[in-house]
């Protein structure tokens, strides 16, 4: 089942975090789509939304690239009640 997964990060190294995610974007698992990547103005927080088969799949992918540079929590988004989230 495809789902929108939110990755909410507290960033410890902004440059390395975003640098690793830029590399990760080109290595998305087959069928995954990166919907959103946005940071707070002070660079300490980020929200990424990725469409994938599971929360665990996004966690494994995301941690493999940016895990050393942030502490991230993962949630399935309530896409049915979201505003502006592409389906």
pLDDT tens, 21-71?
A: 999 999 998 889 999 999 999 999 999 999 999 999 999 999 999 999 999
Domain contains 86: no
Say what the pLDDT of residue 81 is.
87
Q: How far apart are CA 30 and CA 9, in angstroms?
A: 23
Phi/psi for 20 (5° steps) reads -70, -35
pLDDT tens, 1-14?
A: 899 999 999 999 99
Beta strand 70-76 pairing with 45-52: unpaired
Say what the pLDDT of residue 87 is.
67
Asked whether the predicted pLDDT for residue 79 surpasses 90, the reply is no
Q: Where are the alpha helices (DSSP H) in the chain?
A: 14-25, 55-66
Count up the domains in the chain and report the number: 1
CATH of the domain at 52: 3.30.70.100
> Could you tell me the pTM of the whole model?
0.92
Structural domain for 30, as ranges: 3-78
Domain contains 50: yes
| Alpha-carbon radius of gyration of the chain | 12
Asked whether the predicted pLDDT for residue 84 surpasses 90, the reply is no
């Amino acid at each position: 089942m495809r789902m929108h997964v939110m990755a909410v990060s507290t960033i410890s190294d902004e440059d390395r975090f975003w640098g690793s995610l830029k590399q990760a974007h080109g290595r998305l698992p087959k069928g995954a789509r990166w919907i959103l990547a946005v940071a707070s103005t002070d660079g300490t927080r980020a929200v990424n939304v990725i469409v994938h088969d599971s929360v665990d799949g996004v966690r494994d992918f995301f941690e493999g690239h940016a895990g050393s540079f942030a502490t991230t929590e993962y949630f399935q988004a309530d896409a049915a009640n979201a505003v502006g989230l592409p389906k």
